[in-house]
Chains A and B, each alone.
Chain A
Amino acid sequence: MSEQHQQPRVAVHKFSSCDGCQLAFLNLGEDLLALTERLDIVFFAEAGMMNESAEVDIAFVEGSISTAKDAQRIRNIREHSRYLITIGACATAGGLQALRNLAKSDDWVQAIYTNPEHIDTLDKVSPVREHVHVDFELWGCPINKNQLIALVNSLSLGVLPFEETDKLCMQCKRQQHACVMVTKGSPCMGPLTRSGCGALCPAFGRDCYGCYGPAENTNASALGQRFDGVGLLSTQISNRYLSIYSNEQAFACTGQGWNEES
């Protein structure tokens, strides 16, 4: 029994999301059984562990906050967790559904709220960090199992992992892929995007669409000009910025600028 207590106690919580980042656990295959020998998973609704209010060492949070109940629930989770880790674009940055924050039409927003007793929805979709302190954020739509395992390994040693903030371009160059922007004129988001995915899109000969979010020190407006140079319409440029990370300042300003031009 004492060994049981030495294992880190873990919870996996879900808010508004597609469930894809939880799959970084459930898609581990046989490694999932190895992981459950190292971790004591006490709450993970999709996997059937249901002790939601237990004190835990690590709380993984998927999904963005979009209802008053969500906002209360994330505060409770924070109170019961030593480390709170967001997994994926929704929890970390709001995700695709944060596009709702840009909706101009009051008519349709109000139409959704006509039954507030049934559909409890906040005005804005927000990332977890706008509600509670977050110890570490795993970026990506979706995150991958390498990020997850590196994080679990670091926390087992009592330290937070190294945060990947470099640009995808660097990873892509190290893997020696032909630059899709130079060779094909494809509107690649690599110069702005955080690395970590493994440069999957350039490896497939297509442009990166930014699913790992903004890297550090980005120059989003210059890349927007470059997209204009390769012949994209204003709407197309705006669409590239206002997608999974429309709620992140680094992408939002440029995206909104081109949106107004369209």
Chain B
Amino acid sequence: MSDQRNISIHVPVLARVEGEGALDLHIKDGLIEDLKLTIFEPPRLFEKFLEKRETDQVIDMVARICGICPVAYQMTAVHAFEHLFETEVSPWIRDMRRAFYCGEWLQSHSLHIHLLAAPDFLGFNSVTEMATRHAAEVRRGLRLQTLGNDLIALFGARSVHPVGARTGGFYHAPDVDSVNKILARLQDAREDASALLSWTASLPLPDDHQDFISVSLHHEHEYPMNAGRIVSSAGLDIDACEYNDHFREFQIAHSTALYSLLHEQVYLVGPLARMNLNHECLPQEILAQLNDLKIRFPSDNMFHSIIARAAEICLVIDEAIRLLENYTLPQQPSVAWKPRAGIATAATEAPRGLLWHRYSLDEQGLVRDAQIVPPTSQNQARIEQDIKQSLQAFGLNHDEDALRLHAETVIRNYDPCISCATHFLRLNVQRD
């Protein structure tokens, strides 16, 4: 008789992830025999809905793919269109788009760290439980999240599905007084952000080293957000328009989301991948703090994602302060543009990783077809690979509750946004 157990773990609804996902794990004779991360968010078919729409309506519609990162979807679409139309935007527009995007990183990262991820590392089921023991830290996190939301609303009127972005720029420029109020709050929050970074580095994070390829944008002058080339830790360096030549999406029966591979290999997108590839673009002060905390990037510990998120919170506060410090009203918050037919592509860095859009437009600027590759479908294969490796490292002899919690912790560490992960399932029909 073997003392090795056969265990089936079924987690029907994953807690503290955005969207609907489930995990099935089958261990036989002490080895993981089968592991499936199932995404059962029904296909929402967004790419089909965008057909025959004008670019400005697309910007309003793609926001609805994800309530947590609508700015990422809007910015990726707008950059794709303007690239095709050869629209030259003013420095004001470029700067304010980056400030707008900073708001989303601040909001989304704060939400993820405090409401979704940190309870795992401190042994709580929810943020409200965690608040009973760590009230000051939770309140600090919620304040940062609110500031991020308010920064989005400065440019977008509201933080979920904001209404400010348009092809060529913004519908509206915020007045100087509103900008100065947010600026003062950003300056006050910088200390909170540093304290948060130190706090994440002090969490009892598992020490789990893995071999993975990081993929993100890279920009020669700034930490990547709205612009840059797509690079990888394995030497990839391409323009967004070359994406389909290197990355392949495919369908797996158990999930409604598509999977994605780079040169047939699993890869990582998100804050850790970004930090691994771009840490040298961080301001000196953040690098010095990381050094003091003895955190080194590039890191191969997946659980350093939460520290990368906190470092990016410091970064976006610094960036937003820099961009808004000498704010003046522009003559026009947008520039004129003319539609033309062709292929529009762009990639930006959503809070949870690389987001890529491709649109084919007709001569009136209406969408012929669209392809959207969100970060979570790019990470899906990596998450499954990570769960397998992490559970082996953790020890399959743990009881089922411990295994389940560990697997969930691994998944939540990626901040998977399952609502975004579902898009139109392209199907190859083979007939004999």
Residues of A whose CB lies within 8 Å of any CB of B are 14, 16-24, 26-27, 29-30, 32-33, 36, 41, 45-50, 52, 66-67, 70, 95-97, 99-100, 103, 108, 111-112, 114-115, 118-121, 141-142, 144, 197-198, 200-201, 203-206, 209, 211, 235-236, 239, 243-244
Q: How far is the CB of B66 from chain A (nearest CB, A)?
A: 5
Instruction: Please name all residues of chain B whose beta carbon is closer than 8 Å to the beta carbon of A209 when the two chains form the complex.
Output: 57, 60, 163
A24–B54 Cα distance when bound, in Å, is 29
Q: How far is the CB of B199 from chain A (nearest CB, A)?
A: 18
One of B19, B67, B115, B166 near A142 (C-beta < 8 A) = B67
A123–B172 Cα distance when bound, in Å, is 41
The number of A-B residue pairs with CB atoms under 8 Å apart is 177
Q: How far is the CB of B398 from chain A (nearest CB, A)?
A: 20
Q: Is the CB of A41 within 8 A of B427?
A: no
Q: Is the CB of A50 within 8 A of B142?
A: no
Identity of the chain A residue whose Cβ is nearest the Cβ of B110 in the assembled complex: A29
One of B20, B45, B52, B172 near A239 (C-beta < 8 A) = B52
A18-B66, A19-B419, A119-B256 are contacts. A52–B13 as well, Cβ < 8 Å?
yes
Identity of the chain A residue whose Cβ is nearest the Cβ of B67 in the assembled complex: A20
- List 26 contacting pairs A-B, 8 Å CB cutoff, sorted by A: A18-B65, A18-B66, A18-B419, A19-B18, A27-B146, A27-B159, A29-B142, A32-B142, A33-B128, A45-B14, A46-B16, A46-B17, A50-B13, A97-B45, A97-B46, A99-B45, A111-B427, A115-B253, A118-B254, A119-B42, A119-B256, A141-B64, A201-B157, A211-B161, A239-B57, A243-B61
Instruction: Please name all residues of chain B whose beta carbon is closer than 8 Å to the beta carbon of A201 when the two chains form the complex.
Output: 157, 163, 171
Instruction: Please name all residues of chain B whose beta carbon is closer than 8 Å to the beta carbon of A103 when the two chains form the complex.
Output: 48
A205–B18 Cα distance when bound, in Å, is 33
The 4 closest A-B pairs by CB, nearest first: A20-B67, A48-B126, A29-B146, A204-B172
A230–B131 Cα distance when bound, in Å, is 55
Q: Is the CB of B161 within 8 A of A144?
A: no
Interface check B53, CB cutoff 8 A:
yes
Q: Is the CB of A239 within 8 A of B14?
A: no
Identity of the chain A residue whose Cβ is nearest the Cβ of B366 in the assembled complex: A235
Instruction: Please name all residues of chain B whose beta carbon is closer than 8 Å to the beta carbon of A41 when the two chains form the complex.
Output: 128
B contact face: mostly helix, strand, loop, or mixed: loop
One of A16, A119, A204 near B171 (C-beta < 8 A) = A204
Interface check B44, CB cutoff 8 A:
yes
Q: How far is the CB of B347 from chain A (nearest CB, A)?
A: 21
Instruction: Please name all residues of chain B whose beta carbon is closer than 8 Å to the beta carbon of A46 when the two chains form the complex.
Output: 15-18, 115-116
A46–B43 Cα distance when bound, in Å, is 20
A20-B64, A46-B16, A121-B42 are contacts. A203–B48 as well, Cβ < 8 Å?
no
A47–B61 Cα distance when bound, in Å, is 26
Q: Is the CB of A206 within 8 A of B166?
A: yes
Q: Is the CB of A205 within 8 A of B172?
A: yes
Instruction: Please name all residues of chain A whose beta carbon is closer than 8 Å to the beta carbon of B115 when the two chains form the complex.
Output: 26, 46-48
Instruction: Please name all residues of chain A whose beta carbon is closer than 8 Å to the beta carbon of B42 when the two chains form the complex.
Output: 16, 66-67, 70, 97, 119-121
Q: Is the CB of A48 within 8 A of B57?
A: no
Instruction: Please name all residues of chain A whose beta carbon is closer than 8 Å to the beta carbon of B45 when the two chains form the complex.
Output: 97, 99-100, 112
Identity of the chain B residue whose Cβ is nearest the Cβ of A122 in the assembled complex: B42
A144–B119 Cα distance when bound, in Å, is 27
Q: Is the CB of B126 within 8 A of A49?
A: yes
Instruction: Please name all residues of chain B whose beta carbon is closer than 8 Å to the beta carbon of A49 when the two chains form the complex.
Output: 125-126, 128
Interface check B413, CB cutoff 8 A:
no
Instruction: Please name all residues of chain A whose beta carbon is closer than 8 Å to the beta carbon of B18 when the two chains form the complex.
Output: 19, 46
A35–B159 Cα distance when bound, in Å, is 20
Q: Is the CB of B164 within 8 A of A204?
A: yes
Interface check B160, CB cutoff 8 A:
yes
Instruction: Please name all residues of chain B whose beta carbon is closer than 8 Å to the beta carbon of A204 when the two chains form the complex.
Output: 157, 163-164, 171-172
Instruction: Given contact pairs A23-B68, A48-B127, A49-B128, enumerate 11 new A-B contacts (beta carbons under 8 Å).
Output: A18-B419, A20-B68, A27-B146, A48-B124, A50-B125, A97-B44, A112-B43, A120-B42, A205-B172, A209-B60, A235-B52
A139–B23 Cα distance when bound, in Å, is 33
Identity of the chain A residue whose Cβ is nearest the Cβ of B41 in the assembled complex: A16
Q: Is the CB of A48 within 8 A of B41?
A: no
Q: From residue 44 to 100 of chain B, which have CB atoms closer than 8 A to chain A?
A: 44-46, 48-49, 52-54, 57, 60-61, 64-68, 70
Instruction: Please name all residues of chain A whose beta carbon is closer than 8 Å to the beta carbon of B157 when the two chains form the complex.
Output: 198, 200-201, 203-204
Q: Is the CB of B125 within 8 A of A205?
A: no
A49–B130 Cα distance when bound, in Å, is 12
A14-B20, A33-B139, A47-B126 are contacts. A19–B427 as well, Cβ < 8 Å?
no
Q: Is the CB of B425 within 8 A of A119?
A: yes
Interface check B278, CB cutoff 8 A:
no
A33-B128, A47-B128 are contacts. A96–B52 as well, Cβ < 8 Å?
no
Instruction: Please name all residues of chain B whose beta carbon is closer than 8 Å to the beta carbon of A236 when the two chains form the complex.
Output: 54
Q: How far is the CB of B432 from chain A (nearest CB, A)?
A: 15
Interface check B28, CB cutoff 8 A:
no
A116–B53 Cα distance when bound, in Å, is 30
Instruction: Please name all residues of chain B whose beta carbon is closer than 8 Å to the beta carbon of A47 when the two chains form the complex.
Output: 16, 115, 126-128
Identity of the chain B residue whose Cβ is nearest the Cβ of A211 in the assembled complex: B161
Q: How far is the CB of B404 from chain A (nearest CB, A)?
A: 12
Q: Is the CB of B19 within 8 A of A30?
A: no
Q: Determine which residue in A16, A46, A206 has the highest number of CB atoms from chain B within 10 A of its CB, and name it.
A: A46
Q: How far is the CB of A158 from chain B (nearest CB, A)?
A: 25
Instruction: Please name all residues of chain A whose beta carbon is closer than 8 Å to the beta carbon of B60 when the two chains form the complex.
Output: 209
